[in-house]
Structure 1
């Protein structure tokens, strides 16, 4: 059993490294890329709220919740995204499939530990721009980017009292982002190509607290705080300038030179979230959460942006779940968990003096596996990011997520030999 589990983990880690389709968003060019949701499918389906702990689901957003696990938990999840990218005069469809997280949770008497792997940020775009030069010549420029930053994490939570839990998670962030631009002038035989490869690495940490108290005999009140201090990420850059010639739908390199570009350090912004809610255990819950990120003054992977600006980011989320009858023996539909939520976010990115905003609604279902503590969680998110005005791009997207949570009792002492 253990050998099969370890083999499965190795295969999934390999798939994680190979299956990342990065991003379809042109906004992923800026900063550290498109910030990825760092939670599981079940929390994402509730608007991304993370202030409460669950005994059979790993809460990756608040490490204090690790101590609530009652069973050894193996969680894996992925998302397929469909998007329409629109400007004022044209549109294009995009699609990506990603593995979102891979985590193992181990419970202890008054605590729990979780380790795993997830993406932190993604870069992926393929654009073309046609423009006229002051001389009257026309140019055609292609912009391409791919790659991202992944995160290996390990953390632990502890139940301080019956009401309070505390936890810490330590992360190693690493990845490579490759970008290039190719420019052609009509009537000129050769074009130019500039390519940059950035290798990023750095450490970070997260701290969290959760609270759970009683209201009367049946209701519970929940609260949660998380804090991520600002850290630095090292960026090692390599840049090449090439003379190229178009051929057979592609291009061939005529000459290539190395360009000097400095290695830099960019900040991973600090973040703080606070949330709370009310509910009846194993029946229903509703709550809200707000997250602040100190993204003002963010840099690119290889220096400043010129007139592009960053402001502090803020995200609001509301959501909850409902279970008709957790212990029903006659109706499987009554044991399904029904989830819903919504979020609104100012991403922190400003282009042409316009804040890039993101808003979405979510729904989800949690299907218990008969005879086991395991479950399958599905979620659908519909949203919009950006705008077609001010020369920008609007992304209208649908994210379909699936998460698998396998739970079992490990490390039990045998009563009989």
Structure 2
């Protein structure tokens, strides 16, 4: 088990090099950026449904599930993304490889604890466009953004009765976001550059409840609630505006500059979030369920007050999904122990641009491959979806995500029977 953790830690170090390029979307400019963590690989393969307790998988979306662990579990996941971005006149391609999460879960009789880290949100885009302002006159615009918010969490779950579990976790959120814009008129020697930087930090809490009860001899019913109260992030903002000269080798020579503000303090609100889900199934054979998530994004703000075309509304997400295992305890046929997962989701992201709500929809498919000779496994999730629209002067994103997760399981703290 220790060797497996060391190998995964090395994987983490390699993935961290991509942390500042976690998004390709121009929509990540607004608010705190794109929300990166959308569940572990196994739950994402089911459309994001996170209502099922699991003895060998960490369910980070609901801390009540930590008490269902039967073995020490070490989980790590990463995603490769490929996308086409469309406007009414242009088309571009983008790709990213990102770390999704790194977590450890420990069973403690009727309880369980878990801790880990994840990139929570990301800002990442590079946009170039030309604005025609008159006969023969053009302004060349360049927009860049990078950074995001990371999250460290510590949580615990407890089995109150055979049917009910409760849990809570505490998160520390921290990170830095930097955006810049450059504009040059073709008939003017110098260009204008603006750099905005925000340092963000703050705590948040997640609460969870899970239910599992028998319908008959085979079927079980499942229910889950998770709740995240609204909390504030403290931001320290910096803005610099400069007149620059563009060099032929791609560099920038600063001619004159002015710092508009430095160390300006503001607060950004992380919205209230409530998820309700229910399902039915035969454990270790098949399970299916649905989940709805409400997010009070209406009060969410941008990092700076002078963004006029972007605002927020309350968000909502619908998820359906499940899994099927032909024969989980087969010793002679490996393929019959592979877990088949599928699902779909549809959401209003809560972002409004040019008075148009931004929607995101995707279908998912996944597989869980057991590692022979252990209870560990490799999970794969395939996701194809679309976000936004190319109407209203906006951008439509068609994307394909490939997620790979490792769940290593072993028994720790076992008392020796013989010396």
TM-score (norm 1): 0.96
* Secondary structure, counterpart of 1:238 in structure 2: strand
CA contact (8 A) 2:37 2:118 kept: no
> 1:222-273: CA deviations, max 9, x gaps?
0000000000001111222222112225132223332215321010011000
Correspondence for 2:47: 47
For 2:17 and 2:235, locate their aligned partners in 1 and report how far apart those are by CA, in whole Å: 22
Change in Cα spacing, 1:210 to 1:319, as seen in structure 2 (3 Å) is: same
Following TM superposition, the consecutive aligned residue runs of length 4 or more in structure 1 with deviations greater than 3 angstroms are: 4-17, 132-137
What value does the CA root-mean-square deviation take over the aligned residues?
1.6
Contact 2:245 2:254 in 1 (8 A): yes
Counterpart of 1:289 (choices 284, 288, 291) is 291
Quote the offset at 1:10 in angstroms.
5.1
CA distance in 1, matches of 2:241, 2:104: 44
Q: Residue 259 in 1 paired to residue 285 in 2?
A: no
Query: Aligned partners of 1:203, 1:134: CA distance in 2, in Å?
Result: 50
| Structure 2 gaps, min length 5 | none
Partner-residue secondary structure (3-state), 1:263: strand
1:13-46 CA-to-partner distances (Å, cap 9, x unmatched) read 5445422222000000001100123411000000
Please, which runs of 5 or more residues in structure 1 have no aligned partner? none
State the shift of 1:166 in Å.
Answer: 0.2
Deviation, structure 1 residue 6: 6.4
For residues 396 and 298 of structure 1, what CA distance do their matches in structure 2 show? 26
The equivalent of 1:189 in structure 2 is: 189
Residues 1:393 and 2:395 aligned together: yes
Q: Is the 8 A contact 2:234 2:267 kept in 1?
A: yes
How do residues 233-312 of structure 1 correspond to structure 2 at under 5 angstroms?
Answer: 233-255=233-255, 256-260=257-261, 262-312=264-314
Contact 2:8 / 2:76 at 8 angstroms: preserved in 1? no
Structure 1 match to 2:337: 335
Please give the alpha-carbon distance, in whole angstroms, between the structure 2 residues aligned to 1:404 and 1:7: 13
1:242–1:253: 8 Å Cα contact kept in structure 2? Answer: no
Partner of 1:95: 95
Contact 2:271 2:299 survives alignment (8 Å): no
Task: Tell whether the 8 Å contact from 1:233 to 1:267 is kept in structure 2 after alignment.
Answer: yes
Query: Are the aligned partners of 1:276 and 1:288 in contact in 2 as well (CA < 8 Å)?
Result: yes
Task: Give the SS at the match of 1:260.
Answer: strand
Asked whether the 8 Å contact 1:38–1:118 carries over to 2, the reply is no
Question: Which of the numbers 354, 358, 361 marks the counterpart of 1:352?
Answer: 354
- Distance (whole Å) between structure 2 residues aligned to residue 154 and residue 15 of structure 1: 24
Inter-CA distance 6–281: structure 2 relative to 1 (3 Å threshold): closer
Q: CA deviation at 1:9?
A: 6.2
Number of residue pairs matched? Answer: 416
Three-state SS of the structure 1 residue aligned to 2:251 is: strand
Residue range with higher mean Cα deviation, 335-344 or 15-24: 15-24
